[in-house]
Amino acid sequence: MSFIFHQKSIDKSSKQTRNLLNIICNLKSAHLNYLCSIMSTPDKQQVFSISNAAELNKAALQIFQHQAKNNTVYQQFISGLRVDAAAVNSIEQIPFLPIEFFKSHRVLSNTKPAELTYTSSGTTGITTSSHYVTDKTWYEDSFRDAFKLFYGDIKDYTVLALLPSYLEREGSSLIYMVNDLISQSENADSGFFLYNHDELYHQLKKQQKAKKPTLLIGVTFGLLDFIENYTINFPELIVMETGGMKGRRKEMIREELHDILCKGFGVKAINSEYGMTELLSQAYSLGDGIFVCPPWMKIIIRDTNDPISTLANGKTGGINVIDLANINSCSFIATQDLGKTFADGSFEVLGRFDQSDIRGCNLLIA
Q: 168-195: per-residue pLDDT in tens?
A: 788 999 999 999 999 999 999 999 998 8
The string of pLDDT tens digits covering residues 261-279 is 999 999 999 999 999 999 9
**What's the gap between Cα 238 and its chain centre?**
21
For the stretch 347-359, what's the b/e string if a residue is b when 16 or more beta carbons lie within 10 angstroms of its beta carbon?
A: bbbbbbeeeebbb
Residue 173: the pLDDT is 96
Q: Which domains does the chain have, with CATH numbers?
A: 133-352 (3.40.50.12780)
- For the chain, give the mean pLDDT: 87
**Dist CA 92 CA 268 (whole Å):** 38
Which spans in the chain are helix H?
15-39, 44-47, 53-70, 72-80, 101-104, 136-151, 173-185, 197-210, 220-229, 254-265
Closest to 241 measured CA to CA, from 180, 161, 298, 319: 161
pLDDT in tens, 67-102: 999 999 999 999 999 999 999 999 999 999 999 999
pLDDT tens across 226-241, in order?
999 999 999 999 999 9
Mean of the pLDDT values across residues 123-143? 89
- Higher-scoring residue by pLDDT: 39, 230: 230
Q: Is the pLDDT of residue 281 over 70?
A: yes
* pLDDT band of 355, cuts 50, 70, 90: low
Higher pLDDT, 221 or 14: 221
166, 172 contact by CB (below 8 A)? yes
pLDDT at 36 over 90: no
pTM: 0.85
Burial class (CB in 10 A: 0-12, 13-18, 19+), 95: buried
pLDDT band at 115 (very low <50, low <70, confident <90, very high): very high
Longest dimension (CA), the chain: 94
The share of the chain scoring above pLDDT 90, in percent, equals 76
pLDDT at position 343: 97
Q: Give 282's pLDDT tier (boundaries 50, 70, 90).
A: very high
Query: ∠ CA 153-158-162 to the nearest 5 degrees?
Result: 120
Cα(348)–Cα(297) distance, rounded to whole angstroms? 15
Contact 268, 236 (CB under 8 A): no
- 85: nearest Cα among 100, 73, 97, 69: 69
In which element (H, E) is residue 302 found? strand 297-303
Least confident of 33-42, 269-278, 352-361: 352-361
Residue 24 — very low, low, confident or very high, per pLDDT cuts 50/70/90? very low
Weakest-pLDDT range from 10-14, 74-78, 157-161, 297-301: 10-14
Distances in whole angstroms, Cα of residue 134 to Cα of each of 254, 304, 329, 357: 35, 32, 9, 26
pLDDT band at 251, cuts 50/70/90?
Answer: confident
3-state class of 346 per DSSP? Answer: coil
Query: What does the pLDDT read at residue 354?
Result: 64
Q: Which amino acid is at 112?
A: K
Residue 296 contacts residue 325 (beta carbons within 8 Å)? yes
